[in-house]
Structure 1
Amino acid sequence: MGAEPLPATNHHHHHDHNHTNGGEAPLVLGLQPSALVDHVARVDWSLLDQIPGERGGSIPVAFEELEHILGEVKTHVLSSGEEACSPVKTMAGGSVANTIRGLSSGFGVSCGIIGACGDDEQGELFVTNMTCRGVNLSRMRMKKGPTAQCVCLVDELGNRTMRPCLSSAVKLQWLLLRYGIFNLEVIQAAIRIAKQEGLLVSLDLASFEMVRNFREPLLQLLDSGNIDLCFANEDEATELLRGEQTVNPEVALEFLAKHCKWAVVTLAANGCIAKHGKEIVRVPAIGESKAVDATGAGDLFAGGFLYGLVKGLSLEACCKVGSCSGGSVIRSLGGEVTPENLHWMHKQMQINGLPTPGIHSS
């Protein structure tokens, strides 16, 4: 979906005991949807008087304004020591990245970061800087586009004024969750962080037993307004409406749509229904899928639907991709699509006029 794993790096770790790029999982993971590169310079008061916004604050600027400020820095720099030769110090930045890098390089704690960087010079700098400090970037993705940047202007008293350029920068878009009572606190915390960072949240209702036995916490999650997309199968939808006078997939769809931007109820061999805003679509199952094993059908449907959203497809097209994807996994045992069935899925997408993925990432 336009995001590739970062290529393997050969940088040595800052500490011999901090093997964060090895096999073990990091102890601490930071979520920073957009990698960020800081351009830090000590400048005199006159430059701070020229740029919009208050001193000491942080307001977003367009790329042209960022470049203008960087150009002006050279004539307003407070020269002392090494800064006289290199007035602007450039490094990986962002609050989360700073904390993670400090934990890794200063304390030897194994750390990683989740996010996306652009395929540009700044993205390469972010990767190099963080990797050299022992941070595990296996969960970082490189996407086509620019990496976020920020000019950090430091006055003679040491106070900083920041002007970030984030508008066109690449970032992660979605957080995917499966409802479960045993990790409810983790789910709630992850949703809070995701919304603070501007991510969209997708929730799968997991199983009809989970909905039946722990319905109230689920309703509270939906009532929070933080779930942007919700998937339910017919059994889960029935349990969600337990006690209502009318219980059917259409009523369940309306209920979910009151709480979520996108609501989807899958109907097994009967396809699915979905709602976004005032638009409601019903899409039949696609292809002559022989249901060898239903394991992963809903999961793969969700993956296809999300592919459609990321690609900007219509609601109907998102459902069709989901149907192709879900239909591909039930043709063999297990929740992983075999190469043969992946080929089947792409063929079904082509037949239905849907854009197929360019390169399949492993």
Structure 2
Amino acid sequence: MTEPRYDVIAIGNAIVDVMAPASDELIEELQLNRGGMTLVDDVRARELYDAMGPAREISGGSAANTLAGLSALGAQCAFIGQVAQDQLGEVFAHDIHAVGIDFDTPPRAGAPSTARCLIFVTPDAQRTMNTFLGASQFLPADALNEEAIGGARVLYLEGYLWDPEEPRAAMRRAIETARDAGREVAFTLSEVFVIDRHGDDFRALIDDGLIDILFANHLELAALTGEDDMEAGIAAIKDKIPTLVVTRSADGAIATRNGERAEVAAEPIDEVVDTTGAGDLFAAGFLYGHVKGEPLETCLKRGAIAACEIISHYGARTEVDLKALMEKKLG
């Protein structure tokens, strides 16, 4: 097998995040799904944007956030995702190139516009996300860079993008390409509602041995396995997946790998400002350790450090030298 060109290549939603502080009263007035993620159409997205206070715009999307964290740590990364030929599409491409990630998916002409996520952050740091998927849900299989997929150590797939039919077919093809090249496939379950809609697909991928690394939080694990008890959920699938990573918010994280098990506590933090991207950056830290061949516990610690940094400020992109922070924390 040739030496990989990339550490991680990811397929995900190409989204621009629009973030603003919000009161609990505004969340109630707008009848939002507090602390969750809701898909909205273009009309609703415009309505919510008009109701927002002063906002910050930054390129996002779950898998893209993970790659940004990986790139900050020094990993070589590439992204596959669909934007439109519009201003937000240009913003997304600029931002992802600016953090050192290769991105060459051609923009899509015509409607719909580039995807955007309207994020309302309440005083308790919970983020309420409202996502218009726009162009991102029309990623065709023929837009895949199969040479790049075959030249990456890990193919990382975002569960959110499994919902639309066209990118779901593209991701299935990408899995085949990675498998044919002898590469690993990592999958993040993303959200409980995605499992409610596509759990049978995910369980089939696991049963067929097509997932090497699975990321889930404790709620997603319960939805996937049907086991409310976390330990029972882990027991139900740990032998089907070479590496299983389960995050538990403030209670830390657990991972199993080929019969080995490790646990870490959450990193201490003075104030949680915004939980947007916590899971994405946890995956970044973990995957960095994984591709570097580090022990399982070290991979988890890297994930916890990255997640702690991201929740200390607004937005899902790091605001400090993440590599230096890791070196300081890990010694």
TM-score by length of 2: 0.54
Of 200, 203, 212 in structure 1, the residue corresponding to residue 196 of structure 2 is 212
Asked if residue 227 in structure 1 is aligned to residue 215 in structure 2, the reply is: no
The aligned counterpart of 1:201 is 185
Deviations 1:171-224 (A, max 9, x none): 420100012232322221111111001110000001011112321111111111
Matches of residues 1-362 of structure 1 in structure 2 within 5 Å? 1=74, 3=76, 25-26=105-106, 114-115=147-148, 171-179=151-159, 180-182=162-164, 183-242=167-226, 244=227, 247-288=228-269, 290-339=271-320, 342=321, 346-347=324-325, 349-353=327-331
- Structure 2: 5+ residue stretches without partners: 1-73, 79-102, 108-141
Rounded to whole Å, the distance in 2 between the matches of 1:111 and 1:298 is 25
Cα distance, 1:110 vs structure 2: 10
CA contact (8 A) 1:261 1:277 kept: yes
Q: Mean Cα displacement is larger for which, 262-271 or 327-336?
A: 327-336
Cα distance, 1:350 vs structure 2: 2.1
Rounded to whole Å, the distance in 2 between the matches of 1:293 and 1:173 is 31
Rounded to whole Å, the distance in 1 between the matches of 2:168 and 2:238 is 22
TM-score by length of 1: 0.49
Which amino acid counterpart does residue 239 of structure 1 have in structure 2?
A
- Structure 1: 5+ residue stretches without partners: 6-22, 28-108, 117-139, 141-170, 354-362
Q: What is the count of residue pairs matched by the alignment?
A: 196
Structure showing greater radius of gyration is: 1
Deviations 1:53-73 (A, max 9, x none): xxxxxxxxxxxxxxxxxxxxx
Cα distance, 1:282 vs structure 2: 1.1
Deviations 1:129-182 (A, max 9, x none): xxxxxxxxxxx9xxxxxxxxxxxxxxxxxxxxxxxxxxxxxx420100012232
TM-aligned CA distance change 1:254 to 1:115, over 3 Å: same
Larger proportion of helix:
2
Rounded to whole Å, the distance in 2 between the matches of 1:277 and 1:24 is 35
Deviations 1:272-293 (A, max 9, x none): 0000112111100123252211
TM-aligned CA distance change 1:332 to 1:317, over 3 Å: same
Rounded to whole Å, the distance in 2 between the matches of 1:112 and 1:240 is 30
Cα distance, 1:249 vs structure 2: 2.2
**CA RMSD of the aligned region, Å?**
2.9
Rounded to whole Å, the distance in 2 between the matches of 1:298 and 1:193 is 26
Which amino acid counterpart does residue 158 of structure 2 have in structure 1?
R
TM-aligned CA distance change 1:313 to 1:184, over 3 Å: same
Q: Percent identity?
A: 29
The alignment partner of 1:216 has SS state of: helix
CA contact (8 A) 1:175 1:201 kept: yes
The alignment partner of 1:173 has SS state of: strand
CA contact (8 A) 2:189 2:216 kept: yes
Higher RCO, 1 vs 2 (CA within 8 Å, ≥6 residues apart):
2
Which amino acid counterpart does residue 219 of structure 2 have in structure 1?
D
Which amino acid counterpart does residue 253 of structure 1 have in structure 2?
I
Rounded to whole Å, the distance in 1 between the matches of 2:77 and 2:184 is 20
CA contact (8 A) 1:324 1:348 kept: yes
Rounded to whole Å, the distance in 2 between the matches of 1:284 and 1:110 is 40
TM-aligned CA distance change 1:214 to 1:314, over 3 Å: same
CA contact (8 A) 2:239 2:258 kept: no
